Amino acid sequence: LKLTDHKIQNEIIELLQQQILTGILNECRRAKYFSVMIDETKDIACHEQVSLVIRFVDEKFNVFEKFIGFARTATMTGEALADLLIKWLKKLNLNLENLVGQCYDGASNMRGEYQGVAARLRQIAPLGIYIHCNGHVLNLCLIDVSARVPSVRNTFGVVSSLYKLIEGSVKRHQVFEHVQQEAGLKNLTIKELCETRWTCRLECLKVILLRFNEIITTLEVIEVPDAFLLLNSLLSFDFIFHLFIMMEIYSLTNILSKFLQHSNVSLTDALAQVKITIDTVKSLQNESEFERIYNEALKLCNDNGIEPPEKARTKRIPVRFGGGDDGTAGLNVKDYYRIKIYYVILDNIITSIDHKFDENILGVVVLMEKLFLYKEFLNE
């Protein structure tokens, strides 16, 4: 057999995999205590794949996160995933008594108080404290804003429809590419709104703002009924104003998201960065920042011949449903967007981040972390 034969190639890869895995496990055993992180997703063949990462620190408190591998699972129940993880760790010859941390998303099958993976693992590894993945927590905060503020939800509904219309057809995508080429611009594609990674929506909003004129031209050329409806939605001050606000918020939260993904970040560092993000968002709650964003939206409208609304929208809920005056009566357009849109969105994102990253819940873990680091400092 030749070295280029696929069987030989696979054997070489398998030997390298075993060698690397042995090295990782030896490092983990020397560290003694370790944590686990698992997540599940469907692959291209629609099979559920579970990924496993182990995290440990050496005697100098250097943090290591090592990917172990993937494992297929037929069911996604807490019991099935817990059994899979336990068997996996035993196969790796890792002592479950030394498991001190578990990090998963917040799904019920992972964090359920009785039937979740975390609860089942604690039964045989009582030191394994469950920590909700901070990246997932941040995504939930952004989801909250969309759920609580109807105008934000409507904006992303338009963005999602825009993606499906242009990128869902090869012919319509080619029209969009041609329009960009005619303008002498680099071809950009409208990004899909990922349901599980909301911080990725920043790229989608960037493309819409960078290629706003070309998107409008494309919708004017495309001869389908949905294109006309989308065109009316895009050519509105309300939509454009929301684009600029959400761009501002996602730009700030994207910094936090990338920070939380660093493998050597401690919980103390993570909470400190969360506080910085909250303070930065709070700094937007003033007249000058509102004026800046409002004027940016006005400029894009003026450049595209879009007239801003002349009067504030009023929404009245029937009294029998507990409604009445919604407080917009007497407000001019600018005050309406400042009070009823701008401040409402900022208040919601601040409240959500502050609530979900509750420092009191993680206080004990943070104190333990500081104690270990202080002890190490005294020993130097």
Q: What is the model's pLDDT at position 244?
A: 96
Q: Give pLDDT, residue 314.
A: 56
pLDDT at 312: 59
Alpha-helix runs per DSSP H in the chain: 6-31, 78-91, 108-111, 117-124, 134-148, 150-167, 170-182, 201-210, 212-221, 225-234, 237-260, 267-282, 287-303, 333-336, 343-356, 363-379
Q: In the chain, where are the structural domains located? A: 32-132, 138-311+331-369
pLDDT tens-place values along the chain, 380 residues long? 577 788 888 899 999 999 999 999 999 999 999 999 998 888 888 888 999 999 999 888 888 999 999 999 988 898 999 999 999 999 999 999 999 999 988 788 888 877 889 899 999 999 888 888 888 888 888 888 888 999 999 999 999 999 999 999 999 999 999 999 999 999 999 988 877 666 678 888 999 999 999 999 999 998 888 899 999 999 999 999 999 999 999 999 999 999 988 877 877 788 889 999 999 999 999 999 999 999 999 999 999 888 887 765 555 555 554 555 555 656 789 999 999 999 999 999 999 998 888 754 555 566 556 655 555 544 55
**Whether domain 32-132 has CATH 3.30.420.40:** yes
The reported pTM is 0.80
- For residue 35 the two structure tokens come to 């944590």
Q: What's the pLDDT score for residue 370?
A: 60
Residue 349 pLDDT: 94
**What pairing do the DSSP bridges indicate for beta strands 34-42 and 48-57?**
antiparallel
> What's residue 320's pLDDT?
52
Say if residue 303 is exposed, middle or buried (CB neighbours under 10 Å; 0-12, 13-18, 19+): exposed
